[in-house]
Structure 1
């Protein structure tokens, strides 16, 4: 193979293995280009770190932390999470939930470590692919500052999947390049092992061989395209066979543990529009530093202007035509890698969610995983252009100026888009809500919380019964308790402030002939009928039953309602106790376990709302 060079056998004067490894990994950073890359890496750490510091947990973050807080086990790690498997992500969630539950500062540190490691790893294959050293700088800037990667780094539950997958993709590519260019025997097992590791964090690890195939084709000797494909398949047959076995095994395991329920699109036109939105209005504009718009629906759907999409398409066509003419087949391989990866990605991503609608193609975090692959594809494109350039063009220092100018322009473009996007990812509502509840618990640690529905901005209604308070603050260090019988039950409003429980839509106990004592409850069971039946939502929070009573002594009051049994400590004098009940009920049964009588003066069942203090 033309790019294959075999290292000479070590001699007594040769460097040790450790030194050689150190030189291999540090070499890409030791020249002027490497120093510029380090400066960009430091700038990314500062910018993204500052943005992360202003963020907070949201949506899936709370549910993943709650699930992982149940304890480390195989069941938890391989949880079927809406048709997804990511044991690596749940392992990180378990560590976070165990060591620092709901501690955002620790989460920022974890994400920053993952982000820095990924950025370091991506630089290595980019430098190996780009023969013209300065040309690697703008490509690296794209990976570091691409606006659509802001979403999966700000959102903790996505970051602990996206960043490891990007890291292991870059590692697999680097190992494969070492095999191609240096004949490194470790390249094949490390590449396959990195893919296995990527699959532990997300299904998109299946796309690693898509990248490697095009790299192999681009590195084959000169000849017809079909000849290059045949040579690439033959020379790396063991690699492709390993990936085939790995892919089949993974799909079998995935189907057994987390089968995906597909939702078909309404019409072929919707499918085409979804793909078009993903490729043109999301990935393309994002890669070029867009979408330069304030039109952001909710907190995640970006709607670029028509002029932005049109300008990006023109720039793409011009770039493809120019580079293919200058770079020949190698550049074609780079563009083919980008297109193939994007198409397979959109099929893999929306195969189970196509019925959600074409607008989902404009959610940036869905396209962010393609950014590392796009950067690698662009590196192959540049490699093709450089290989067919004159020696003077390849070695001339004049390439530094245009590369740095392009980098500066890209940074400015990305900064504009990031300025528009960042405020939508700070999750201020989530922070205010959680910190308000935790503050209330610290004021009165004896508080019992009603486990009700949380605002959509914290956990959207799609979560169904999971979108409840215990899944948001249940693991808080204040150790909150929920839905227990309480003489001071509290309910949270939409801002996280705790209130006494008020009741709406309530029904009461039927009147009795004794207006002073009401229902007499002693050793046997006494039934208190309600004026009308009442039911709680099947998948929603429970009703609240409020029982007013008085007694001369203590003991326990046994209560049976809606198929549930409660035992409440009786307090002397006039009291009021709240219980959370579910299901349908038209009466309540009461029993007192001590000598004497409890007078139940009133029973009210209704839907809870924040009341006045």
Structure 2
């Protein structure tokens, strides 16, 4: 696309702005539909559980190392939404749509500063607004709280940097710095924002044939670059003192394979509105699954776009190089921070690790459109052909958005949360033994945030969660509270005290043998006891930490969740003058009756 080609379109500035506004409105309507068909998923439960149960301004919440992320802003937003309406989707949905509206406006604002209100502006704007590249990160609340603030900052700070270098007005330096700070509160990848802004201004100076564009950009934008560097330095101190390093090099062959999956199967099909089809293994998110022909088309479109712009345009080589470099940087970050023994290559096809590339691509197209031609003759491009290509891209993208949403809405968490909310409210008479949530909702790798006490902490109408209970119940995979029992993996051996079994009447631990050893794990012991009074005892595995357990006068049973292993239990009294007789009972895992 060229400047002259854009000027040949029969659209005046006012009409261009109206069309741009209409495109944004259509995008927001589509994204509202996507959000309405989404629901809480995986990390959303961690954000809601922690944000809804910890003080909003506590270090435990703000400085929590969330799988390598430092994202206090996201936890505060989740905490506020959860406090107002625990596990009600309407507030997360609204935050996603509002953030998307701000991001779309920020991109439009930047493109207008680069291109002015000309028809060519609609091309990069449509590319950003409708690209399937941004859909997976938008549909997932936790990912949207990372991705959308970054997209906003990439566009807004670049626009402020451009105005600062053009006008010298310091207010753009102030607003650009503030937006950078806010974006860093949501996603550590926002460290790239000042560099992307600098590259945008320098590339525009370069294609505009300004002498020494890098030096000029440094000098003119110093009021923004210097405070941005200070912000990054302070933030880096907090980040590296808070977040444990999880970097792991996958090896050259695996890294190249991930690059292939992220490029041929991920990014490139989105150039034509793909991938059209998605695959999914619940509880994993959907990943792009384009056909081989669409992979080929993606590469052809990329090569054709480079050739079609490099031949008629001058000084745009660096635009393509830096755009490719940004994408490769995103892939590298994914490889070193997300690779592990159980990582699959489909991870790169989920698209969310480089969704911000959509903003960079829009900037690149706009800069190329601004670049001068190599020859004075106008490039003849029929307006209907250009408009048809944009319409075809939007239609293709909308189909990919539709197929993604149909796959994404297959979410077992939705029914699980609804059932659990009602079931917990109906059975709040006794504590529920601590347990993990269903593996279809949160896998054990999320421990301890997958425990029901963490996930359901924000609910107001529910029983307490405890490491011991006199009434054994559990939350099944459907979210229902059901009566439960302990399997006889091991049994407490009969005691030697007549009419008692094992007598526990001392503060020191009394060993109670099992009929066989248990490996280190999470076990539940059913203690059938006779107590002389109400009080407390301490119970532990032979190798494990003790749990405080309330007991009641007379014959009773209590179920205790223990961590550890060994060939015996250890029991002691914590209440003076309390004696407890313990009989035979199972030690195993909890299952529904």
Partner of residue 564, structure 1: 546
The answer on 1:289 being equivalent to 2:280 is no
Change (3 A) 1:222 1:576: closer
Any gaps of 5 or more consecutive residues in structure 2? 1-10
Match of 2:83 among 98, 102, 119: 98
Residues 304 and 447 (structure 1), Cα distance of their counterparts in 2 relative to 1, 3 Å cut: farther
Q: 593-602 or 504-513: which moved more?
A: 593-602
What's the secondary structure of 1:544's corresponding residue? Answer: strand
1:167 aligns with 2:149: no
Match of 1:362 among 349, 371, 381: 349
Name the structure 2 match of 1:555: 534
CA shift, 1:181, in A, is 4.1
Quick one: structure 1 residues 441 and 295, their matched pair in 2 at CA, closer, same or farther if it must change by over 3 Å? Answer: closer
The answer on 1:608 being equivalent to 2:583 is no
Is residue 358 of structure 2 the alignment partner of residue 376 of structure 1? Answer: no
Alpha-carbon separation, structure 2, partners of 1:188 and 1:388? 38
Partner in structure 1 of residue 161 of structure 2: 176
| Contact 1:83–1:258, Cα closer than 8 Å, also in 2 | yes
In structure 1, C-alpha distance between the alignment counterparts of 2:43 and 2:185, rounded to whole Å: 18
Separation in structure 2 between the aligned mates of residue 388 and residue 373 of structure 1, nearest angstrom: 27
SS at match of 1:352: helix
Q: Choose the corresponding residue for 2:180, options 174, 191, 195.
A: 195
Q: How does 1:569-580 map to 2 (within 5 A)?
A: 569-570=551-552, 575-580=556-561
C-alpha change, 1:228 and 1:598, in structure 2 (3 Å) is closer
Does structure 1 retain, via aligned residues, the 8 Å contact 2:207–2:372?
Answer: no
1:567 Cα offset (Å): 4.3
Aligned mates of 1:130, 1:224 — CA distance in 2: 16
Distance 2:294 2:380 in 1: 33
Q: Deviations over 1:508-530 (max 9, x none)?
A: 23335799x55386966896833
Is contact 1:522-1:592 (8 Å) kept? no
CA 1:485–1:82: 2 relative to 1, 3 Å:
closer
Matches within 5 A, 1:431-580: 431-511=414-494, 517-519=499-501, 529-535=512-518, 537-538=520-521, 542-549=522-529, 555-556=534-535, 558=537, 560-562=539-541, 563-570=545-552, 575-580=556-561
Give yes or no for the alignment of 1:113 onto 2:98.
Answer: yes
CA distance in 2, matches of 1:269, 1:87: 36
Q: What is the Cα deviation at residue 593 of structure 1?
A: 7.1
TM-score, with normalisation over the residues of structure 2?
0.85
Aligned 8 A contact 2:165 2:220 in 1: no
- 2:260 pairs with 1:280: no
Cα distance, 1:223–1:158 mapped onto 2, change above 3 Å: closer
- Contact kept? 1:436, 1:495, Cα under 8 Å: yes
Deviations 1:1-30 (A, max 9, x none): xxxxxxxxxxxxxxxxxxxxxxxxxxx998
Which string of whole-angstrom CA distances, capped at 9 and with x for unpartnered residues, describes residues 242-268 of structure 1? 5444444433442222242311123x2
Aligned partner of 2:287 in structure 1 is 301
Instruction: Give the drift of 1:391.
Output: 8.2
Q: Secondary structure at the match of 1:58?
A: coil
TM-score (norm 1): 0.83
Summarize the alignment of residues 369-448 of structure 1 with structure 2, pairs less than 5 Å apart: 369-384=356-371, 399=383, 401-426=384-409, 428-448=411-431
Change (3 A) 1:480 1:58: farther
1:336-381 deviation per Cα after TM superposition (whole angstroms, max 9, x unaligned): 3421221222233433234546543222111212111211111112
Residue matched to 2:143: 158
CA distance 1:511–1:221, shift in 2 (3 Å):
closer
Is 1:320 the counterpart of 2:306 in the alignment? yes
Q: Residue 535 of structure 1 contacts residue 582 of structure 1 at CA under 8 Å; is this kept in 2? A: no
* Cα distance, 1:367–1:432 mapped onto 2, change above 3 Å: same
SS in 2 for 1:454: coil
Q: Using the alignment, how far apart are the partners of 2:72 and 2:578 within structure 1?
A: 57
* Counterpart selection for 1:125 from 110, 117, 135: 110
Separation of aligned partners in 1, 2:276 and 2:322:
27
> How many Å separate the matches in 2 of 1:76 and 1:360?
28
- Partner of 1:79: helix, strand, or coil? coil
Q: Is the 8 A contact 1:454 1:469 kept in 2?
A: yes
Which secondary structure state, in structure 2, belongs to the residue aligned with residue 502 of structure 1? strand
Gap change, CA 1:389 and 1:452, over 3 Å in 2: farther
Q: Is the 8 A contact 1:507 1:530 kept in 2?
A: no
Give the whole-Å Cα distance in 2 for the aligned partners of 1:223 and 1:600. Answer: 86
Residue of 47, 58, 61 corresponding to 1:64: 47
* Counterparts of 1:431 and 1:565, CA distance in 2: 33
SS of 1:310's equivalent?
helix
Q: Distance in 1 between matches of 2:306 and 2:519?
A: 60
Which stretches in structure 1 are left out of the alignment for 5+ residues?
A: 1-27
Q: Which residue of 2 aligns with 1:36?
A: 19
Contact 2:277 2:403 in 1 (8 A): yes
User: Is the CA contact 1:448–1:486 (under 8 Å) kept in the aligned structure 2?
Assistant: yes
Which residue number in structure 2 is paired with residue 3 of structure 1? none
For 2:107, what is the secondary structure of its paired residue? helix
Contact kept in structure 1, 2:537 and 2:575, CA below 8 Å: yes
CA distance in 2 between counterparts of 1:137 and 1:387 reads 24
Task: Answer yes or no: is the 8 Å Cα contact 1:547–1:577 preserved in 2.
Answer: yes
CA distance in 1, matches of 2:265, 2:313: 27
Give the structure 2 partner of residue 10 of structure 1: none
**Taking structure 1 as reference, are residues 203 and 555 closer, same or farther at Cα in structure 2, changes over 3 Å only?**
closer
Structure 2 CA distance for aligned equivalents of residues 354 and 600 of structure 1? 49
How many angstroms apart in 1 are the aligned matches of 2:16 and 2:256?
42
Distance 1:276 1:484, change over 3 A: closer
Change over 3 Å in CA distance of 1:374–1:600 after alignment to 2: same
